[in-house]
């Protein structure tokens, strides 16, 4: 039976709806990647108040906000995360450099396009003032290479993408003149005990490179059906094969 005009219109409308959804999903992908990339430019210029603005302007009931950088954190709660940035202040620091590239992104957008799961590598040179960490030279600018993995969930609020859960897992942060074999970690992010915005103990996934161990650079990447399967954020710390999974 030949298709009627109405049948053809209905078929075209379905195709058009799929095309529109794919276009909006591609736009969300680009906006999320722009959010990530913009962070790197702000970080390089130590613009902490603008970094804080990459999280939602106000708390969202039922939403867990988390912030974790290497051995710093985890920090929970939107006010605490923004407080961490405010405490650091704005403006460049003499001798500071933190130019990091983000590469190999895996970005999964939820079916309702309100959430996005992001995992990618970050690599770049840094110049930092030494801290109280034993292998630093206190008060001296230290040149280093940084390699790590971003582990992030973004959320869309009133049409704008923000960070919800933000973690950076260090692989190495090594002195330029030593390398990751001799000294994989040169700098600690953990502040002095009693600092208001930090919780004691090591970060969730603090597993830097170790020359004497099998290294699993967590987290694993999210599957394309990550949201359809209802995967928990912390499940991405699991790796294959099963015997290597974190408990």
Residue 84 has what pLDDT? 87
Domain count, the chain: 1
- Over the range 161-175, which residues count as b (16 or more CB within 10 Å of their CB) and which as e? bbbbbbbbbbbbbbb
- The CA distance from 45 to 92, in Å, is 6
**Cα–Cα distances in Å, from 2 out to 6, 8, 13, 16?**
11, 10, 18, 22
Domain carrying residue 76: 5-244
pLDDT at 158: 96
Q: Distance between CA atoms of 25 and 39, rounded to whole angstroms?
A: 21
Residue 243 in this model has a pLDDT that exceeds 60? no
Provide the CATH number for the domain around residue 74: 3.10.450.50
- Each residue of 153-173: pLDDT tens digit? 999 999 999 999 999 999 999
More confident site: 216 or 170? 170
Residue showing tokens 């405010």? 86
Going from the C-alpha of 28 to that of each of 9, 114, 115, 224, 240, the distances in angstroms are 28, 9, 10, 15, 29
**Integer Cα distance of 94 and 9 in angstroms:** 65
Two tokens, residue 212: 């004497």
pLDDT digit string, tens, across residues 41-98: 999 888 999 999 999 999 999 999 999 988 887 889 999 999 988 888 787 777 888 8
Question: In the chain, what percentage of residues exceed pLDDT 70?
Answer: 83
Q: Return the structure tokens found at 89.
A: 């202040």
Identify the residue with better confidence: 120 or 236.
120
The pTM (predicted TM-score) of the whole model is 0.86
């Amino acid at each position: 039976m030949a298709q009627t005009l109405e049948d053809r219109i209905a078929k075209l409308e379905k195709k058009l709806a799929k095309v529109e959804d794919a276009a909006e999903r591609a736009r969300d992908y680009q906006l999320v990647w722009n959010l990530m990339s913009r962070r790197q430019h702000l970080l390089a210029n130590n613009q902490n108040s603008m970094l804080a603005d990459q999280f939602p302007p106000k708390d969202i009931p039922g939403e867990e906000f988390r912030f974790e950088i290497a051995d710093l954190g985890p920090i929970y709660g939107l006010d605490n995360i923004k407080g961490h940035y405010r405490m650091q202040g704005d403006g460049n620091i003499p001798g500071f450099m933190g130019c990091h590239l983000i590469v190999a992104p895996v970005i999964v957008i939820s079916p309702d396009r309100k959430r996005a799961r992001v995992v990618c590598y970050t690599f770049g040179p840094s110049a930092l003032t030494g801290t109280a960490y034993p292998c630093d030279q206190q008060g001296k600018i230290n040149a280093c290479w940084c390699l790590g993995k971003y582990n992030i969930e973004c959320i869309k609020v009133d049409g704008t993408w923000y960070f919800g859960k933000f973690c950076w897992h260090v692989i190495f942060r090594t002195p330029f003149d030593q390398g990751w074999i001799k000294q994989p970690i040169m700098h600690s992010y953990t502040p002095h005990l009693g600092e208001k915005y930090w919780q004691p103990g090591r970060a969730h996934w603090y597993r830097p490179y170790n020359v004497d161990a099998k290294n699993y650079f967590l987290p694993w990447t999210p599957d394309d059906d990550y949201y359809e399967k209802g995967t928990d954020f912390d499940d991405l710390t699991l790796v294959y094969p099963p015997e290597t999974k974190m408990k």
